Each structure stands twice: as C-alpha cells, then as structure tokens.
Amino acid sequence: MDWMKMPPLAALKAFSAFAEARNVVQAGASLNVSHAAISQQLRALEKHLNVALLDRSGKSMTLTPEGEVLARALHLGFGAIGAAVSDLMHATEDRPVHISLTASFAASWLMPRLPAFQAQHPNVHLALDPSPNLVSLGPGGVDVAIRYGAGHWPGVDSELLLQSPIVIVAAPALLGGKTKMTPDELSQLPWLEEFGTTEATTWLAEHGVEHGPRAGRIALPGNLLLEGVRAGQGVTVTARHFVEADIKAGRIIELFCEPGMRGYYTVIGAAPMRPAVKTFVGWLRRQVGQM
C-alpha cells in the first residue's frame, strides 16, 4: 500500500460518518466536532482525490456513485478495525492481573487479605507468581512486581508499600536459652533460606564471617520458611513485619535488626496500567493505609 497517497484519516472518518448518517450535523455529533468541521473535511477529501463524492445540487447533500463506492469500502474497513479493537480490548480486560512477588510476602501479607479483595472486586482476576527472581515488566507479561529493597530501580516506577527492616531470628529452642549470639556463633547453626536466595551466606559475609552456615542450609518455599523457624529448625533472615507477633509472643528471638529505610515496594513498568491493574494497585495502597 502506498501510504503517501492515502487521504488523511480525519477526512476519511468524517466522510464515513456522513455516509452513515447522511447529515453533517449528526456526523459531527458522532465524532464530537462541529458540522462545519465535517464539511471542511469532506471538501478536503474531494480535493485530495480529485473526485466529486457529494452531490450538492439539492436541498441536502447526497453521495455520488463514486461516493457510494468509497462509503461501502470505508464501512467495511472501519467495521473490521472496530471489531479487531473491541476484541483486543476485551481480551486485555479479561486477562488476569499478573503479580510477581516473593513467596514469603504472598504467604505472610497478601494471601490473608485477598478474600477482602475478591469480595470487593469479583470481576478482577489475579495470577500470583511467587518467585525471588527479578522479572521484566511489560504489556502481555507481568503487570506488577512486589519487591524488597530501597526502591531505586532504573526504568520502572516504584512506590513504598510496606516499610520493614531486616531481622535475624530463631526459635528459643534452637538457641539453647540464649538471647544474644555473635554472627560467628550463628554460623554454627543451621539456616533456612527461601528458594533462589543466598541470604544466609550474604548476611554472614557482611558481618565478617567468611564461611557459610556450618550446620547446613535448607532452601524451602517462603510459605514454609517461618513455620520451620518457629519449629526450631534454623535461623533465618526475614522482614521484621512478618515476625513481629512471634517476637512479642516469645515464639522466636530477634537477634539482629538491620537499620535503614528499606521495605516492600510496588513496582510497575512504563506502559499505561490496565483498569484491572489500577484497581489492584489502588487496593494495595488502601490496605497499607488501614494498617
């Protein structure tokens, strides 16, 4: 197709609207423009094509035979475009909101709140993708990521959702009655880590311990990690928010607390959010506001 020879889209739309309504006022109303703007576009189209599309000899304008030919073609063309756009929009609307997040955040914070979301928004479907791996955000893929950090990630928009420092915790039974231990002493105990992370080795190295846990390390899903800690199966690194109730109740001991303003962030890409994604992100903000 030679696009350079095609008339302006605005002129074709105006002509198609007139051909459908057979009235410039109604055509203008359908396109939210004045009838004078429609008349101007019709003249511009005839000039571009160098063909008389309208018969202006009577009290009202009618289509010439050439105009009827173009009207039928535009009706088919715009009809096909409209149907395709409608199908695409409905397909996008029906697609679940794809959320990437860690299993620990899903189990400890989001899942207990989801029944309330479903009750308020039964037509918005969610797809939770628990993984510690960083993901790319884009149309047709992951819509929202919830990640822990300082929030300074390039190429995305991030908003603090839940501020919480990192703590090192263990059950009293594992600690043998102690409430304080050095990093080197902790390295002699077993550690629990969420799948795909190296939090134990990383934390120990940051605190001067060159070797990893001496008594072994177990990787497990985030929804099982805190259960293992409460049962005395190992030391772990976690966000303090998830274990505050356990610390207050004495079920686990807080051994170290890392200072800083880190927390869980809602992360979205640069593309415009679908209505369902906006609904979910707005609901997340309100949940934090109610805490």
Residue 111 one-letter amino acid: M
Q: Which amino acid is at 280?
A: F
Please report where in the chains the tokens 């934390």 appear, as a residue: 203
DSSP 43-79: HHHHHHHTS--EE-SSSS-EE-HHHHHHHHHHHHHHH
Q: Which neighbouring-strand residues pair with 147?
A: 265
pTM over 0.85: no
pLDDT at 54: 92
Dihedral sign computed on CA atoms, order 135, 141, 142, 143: positive
**What distance in Å separates the CA atoms of residue 184 and residue 176, rounded to the nearest whole number?**
16
**Which sign, positive or negative, has the C-alpha torsion 252, 169, 219, 212?**
negative
Q: Residue 155 is which amino acid?
A: G
Helices (H), the chain: 9-21, 24-31, 35-49, 65-94, 103-105, 114-120, 172-175, 183-186, 199-206, 222-230, 240-249, 275-289
Is beta strand 236-239 parallel, antiparallel or unpaired with respect to 166-170?
Answer: antiparallel
User: In the chain, which stretches have pLDDT less than 50?
Assistant: none
Give the residue from 67, 82, 85, 79 showing the smallest Cα distance to 18.
Answer: 67
Q: 176: Cβ–Cβ under 8 A, 6 or more apart, which residues?
A: none
In this structure, the strands spanning 62-63 and 54-55 are antiparallel
For residue 144, give the H/E element and its range. Answer: strand 144-149
Alpha-carbon distance of 227 to 244, in angstroms, equals 14
Question: What is the model's pLDDT at position 87?
Answer: 64
Q: pLDDT for 200-228, tens place per residue?
A: 888 888 888 877 787 788 888 877 888 89
d(Cα 270, Cα 151) in Å, to the nearest integer?
15
Tokens 């809602």, located at residue: 266
pLDDT in tens, 55-98: 988 888 899 999 999 999 999 888 888 877 776 766 566 688 99
Neighbours of 256 (CB within 10 A): 17
Query: What SS3 class is residue 87?
Result: helix
**Separation of CA 143 from chain center:** 3
**Distance of alpha carbon 256 from alpha carbon 166, whole angstroms:** 8
* Tokens matching residue 68: 């009827």
Please give the single-letter amino acid code of residue 274. R
